[in-house]
């Protein structure tokens, strides 16, 4: 499966094959808003019996388009759900996410 690999805090291992500048640069507003909206929609398809969905959606709603926050949103999902997210986004957001998930694996 493809997806963003886990990141260990305190190491220099990157999550993707993007260079550091690309990884830590905020994408366009269109990309950020597309990924953010689709992520919220995807979380809302899951059972919220214990408030887990509300917690995730609340976190995403507060995220702004700064540095690697868009990558952080994507990394909240496992690889299966990252691929579901890919199917939900359109336009520039789809191209950006395809590049992140399929072409930049470590």
pLDDT digits (tens, 9 = 90+) for 18-75: 667 777 889 999 999 999 999 999 999 999 999 999 999 999 999 999 999 999 999 9
Helices assigned H by DSSP within 1-106: 20-23, 29-43, 52-62, 69-75, 79-88, 91-98
State the pTM of this model.
0.79
Residue 12, pLDDT > 60, answer no
**Alpha-carbon span 2 to 41, nearest angstrom:** 21
Distance of CA 66 to the CA centre of its chain: 13
**Alpha-carbon span 33 to 3, nearest angstrom:** 20
């Amino acid at each position: 499966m493809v997806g963003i690999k886990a990141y260990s805090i305190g190491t220099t291992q990157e999550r993707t094959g993007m260079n550091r500048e690309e990884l830590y640069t905020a994408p366009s507003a269109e990309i950020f808003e597309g990924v953010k909206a689709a992520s919220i929609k995807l979380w809302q398809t899951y059972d919220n019996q214990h408030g887990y969905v509300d917690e995730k959606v609340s976190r995403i709603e507060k995220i702004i388009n700064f540095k690697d926050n868009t990558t952080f949103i994507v990394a909240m999902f496992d690889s299966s759900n990252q691929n579901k997210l890919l199917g939900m986004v359109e336009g520039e957001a789809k191209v950006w996410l395809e590049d992140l998930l399929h072409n930049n694996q470590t």
